[in-house]
Structure 1
Amino acid sequence: MKQRIINEELRKIALTIVMIVMMVVVSACAITPRGWSNHKYNINQEDKFSAEAFKSITVSTVGADIKVIVTNEKELRFHYYGDVTIASTRNSLGPYIDIDETGSSLVLAEKLRSGLNSISYKGRAKLDIYMPKKYEGQSKLNSASGDVYINNFGGYGDINTASGDINIENCRGDFDVNTASGNVTYRKDAALKSDLAINLVSGDIDISISKDSEFNFKLRTVSGKIKCDFPVTLEGRGAEGTVGGGKNDISLNTVSGNITIKNN
C-alpha cells in the first residue's frame, strides 16, 4: 500500500513536470510552415546591463545551451553564439535573443523569426550569461532541448528543461529543478546550506555534497535504484529522514532513473 502511494505521488509529479516543460516548448517554438528548406546561420550577439537594476532574471532557449558564469564584474552581460541549421520558407535572418526589460525583471529569450521551423533546429548554439558575483536575485533558466550549466551562483535558481542535462556546481542558493528527459548533477564541495528540490520524469539524479552536510531528505523513484553514502534507511523505492541536525531540505524524485547521493 505504501509503495502504491509513493508511485501515485511520483505520477502526479511527472504530470506536473510535463505540463511545465510543455509551457517552455510552446513559448519557445514557432508554427511549422509548409515548403521550407534548410539554411545555416552563424550567430553572434552580445549585450550588457546593470545587474543592480534587476531582482529577477529569466533566460529561455529553444535549442541553445545555457551557461551561467559568475564573474567579479559589476555588469551582467550575455554572449549568444554558434552555428545552427534551421528549416525556413526563405533564407531569412536567423535566431536571436529577444530582450525584455520590465520593471525589476530582465527576460532574455532565444527567438526564431517568422518563417523558421523550430522542430528542425540542428546544431548547438551557446548562450553564456556572465553574472556578477554579488548578484543574489532570482534566476529562472528554461530550455526546450539545450543543456544548462551553472556554477558559483549565490541566488535562488529555478531550472526547467524538456530535454537536456543540468549541471549545478558549488552554488549557494536554493534550487528547484524540473526536467522531462535529462540527467541532473548537483555538486557542492562545502557543507550544504541551502534547499534542493529535483523532479524528473526520465533521467538520473547524481548528488555530491560535503560529508559535513546536515539535511532532511525525501527520495522517491518508481523505476530505478537509490544509493546513498549517508546513513539512511531505504524502504523499497523510497526513503526519508534526517542527517545530522537537518538544517536544510533535499527532495529528489524521478519516475524512471537512479538517485545517487555521495559525500566528498
Structure 2
Amino acid sequence: MISGTILYATGGISAVSIKTTQIIKSEAFDAGNVNKVVIKTVDTDISIIPVVDKKISADFYGNARTNLTGSLPDLKTDFNNGVLTIEVSYPVTVTLGLINLSRLNLDIYIPDNFSKEIACSSVSGDLETRRFMLESFTFNSTSGNVNVIELVSESTKIETTSGKVFLKDAEGLTSISTVSGGVEIDLRSLKKDLNVKTVSGDVDIKIPEESEFIFSLGSVSGNIKNEFRSKITFADGKNLEGSVGEGMDHVKVKTISGDINLLIK
C-alpha cells in the first residue's frame, strides 16, 4: 500500500477545494512483437501477473485527493522498435498545489510464455511478480519492497535504496544491491553466480544441499553463518571464503551492517 502527499507547482491552474478522485485506466497491446517491457512508476505498487493470453495489458487504479483541477497521475504507454513502455506519469507544473496519493496500483498482465526482457523502475512502491522464464529481469527503486517468486532468468538485477528483497524459487545469474533493507533468497538451483551487496540489512540465502560452488562472505559488523561442509581458504572474523565441492559458480555477499546466513535448503 502506498500513501503519501506530494507538493506540486502548477501553471495557470487555480487551487480549488480538496476532493477525492478515483483513478481507473487500462491499456492493451498485442504481445507478438514485444521484445522488452519497460515499466516506470511513481508512488505506485506494481504487480506483474502471468496470464494465458496473447496480449500485454495494464490496469492503473486507485484514489487521489487534490486541490488542483486536471492534475492527476495518468497511465501512459508507448510502443517503439519492439519496446513497450508502460508509465505512470504526473503533469508538468509551475504553481503551488497539493496531491495526496492513497493505494495507487499498476497491474500488468503478461503472457506466461513471454521470455524476453522486463525492466522496472520505481520512485516509491512495492513490486510483486511470479512464474516467469526470461532473458532478463531488472528492478530499480528508491523505496519499496520486492517480492519475486518462481523467476528463472538468464540475468536478474535488483537495486533498491530502501526496502526488503525476497526471492523464492529463483534461478539464474543474480545481482542484488540495497542500501537499507534485508535480503532473503531461496534458490531453486545454483547454476550461475549470485552477488549480493547491502549497507544495512541481514542477508539470508538458501541453496539446495547438493549444490557445489565457491563463496566469499564479508560483513564489517555482523555475524556470518555457513551451514555447508566447506573447504575454508580464508577467515578473519569479518570475512569467510571457501568452496563447497568442485563447482565454479560464485556466491558473493558483502554487507556493512548486517548478518549473513548461508543456509542449506
TM-score by length of 1: 0.73
Matched residue, 1:176: 157
Once the two structures are TM-superposed, the CA of residue 109 in structure 1 deviates from its matched residue by: 1.3
Once the two structures are TM-superposed, the CA of residue 192 in structure 1 deviates from its matched residue by: 3.4
Matched residue, 1:133: 112
User: Rg bigger for which structure?
Assistant: 2
Gaps of 5+ in 2: 1-5, 170-186
Cα RMSD (Å) of the superposition? 3.2
Task: Assess if the C-alpha contact under 8 Å between 1:46 and 1:78 holds in 2.
Answer: yes
Q: Which moved more, 1:162-171 or 1:249-258?
A: 249-258
Once the two structures are TM-superposed, the CA of residue 31 in structure 1 deviates from its matched residue by: 8.1
CA offsets, 1:51-110, max 9 Å, x none? 22121111111111111112222222122122234x55x232421121121111111111
**1:186 pairs with one of 167, 188, 208:** 167
Task: Assess if the C-alpha contact under 8 Å between 2:220 and 2:255 holds in 1.
Answer: yes
CA distance, structure 2, for counterparts of residue 83 and residue 228 of structure 1: 47
Once the two structures are TM-superposed, the CA of residue 148 in structure 1 deviates from its matched residue by: 1.2
**1:111 pairs with one of 81, 89, 101:** 89
Matched residue, 2:182: none
Paired letter, 1:96: D
**2:133 pairs with one of 128, 137, 154:** 154
1:236 aligns with 2:256: no
Q: 1:142 to 1:134 in 2, by over 3 A?
A: same
Once the two structures are TM-superposed, the CA of residue 163 in structure 1 deviates from its matched residue by: 1.0
Task: Assess if the C-alpha contact under 8 Å between 2:115 and 2:132 holds in 1.
Answer: yes
Once the two structures are TM-superposed, the CA of residue 170 in structure 1 deviates from its matched residue by: 1.4
CA distance, structure 1, for counterparts of residue 46 and residue 82 of structure 2: 22
CA offsets, 1:18-68, max 9 Å, x none? xxxxxxxxxxxx983279785533221222212221211111111111111
CA distance, structure 2, for counterparts of residue 39 and residue 214 of structure 1: 59
CA distance, structure 1, for counterparts of residue 263 and residue 54 of structure 2: 35
The structure whose residues are more often helix, as a share, is 1
Once the two structures are TM-superposed, the CA of residue 196 in structure 1 deviates from its matched residue by: 3.9
Q: 1:136 to 1:92 in 2, by over 3 A?
A: same
Task: Assess if the C-alpha contact under 8 Å between 1:183 and 1:205 holds in 2.
Answer: no
CA distance, structure 2, for counterparts of residue 242 and residue 224 of structure 1: 21
Tell me which of the two structures has the higher relative contact order, counting C-alpha pairs closer than 8 angstroms and 6 or more residues apart.
Answer: 1
TM-score by length of 2: 0.73
CA distance, structure 2, for counterparts of residue 82 and residue 153 of structure 1: 26
Once the two structures are TM-superposed, the CA of residue 235 in structure 1 deviates from its matched residue by: 4.5
CA offsets, 1:190-228, max 9 Å, x none? 323454444444444443443344444444444444444
CA distance, structure 1, for counterparts of residue 102 and residue 225 of structure 2: 35
**1:65 pairs with one of 45, 65, 69:** 45
Paired letter, 2:32: E
Once the two structures are TM-superposed, the CA of residue 114 in structure 1 deviates from its matched residue by: 3.4
Q: 1:80 to 1:228 in 2, by over 3 A?
A: farther
The structure whose residues are more often strand, as a share, is 2
SS at match of 2:32: helix
After TM superposition, the structure 1 = structure 2 runs for residues 214-253 of structure 1, keeping only pairs within 5 Å, are 214-231=212-229, 235-246=236-247, 248-253=249-254
Matched residue, 1:81: 61
What is the number of equivalent residue pairs in this alignment? Answer: 233
Paired letter, 2:142: A
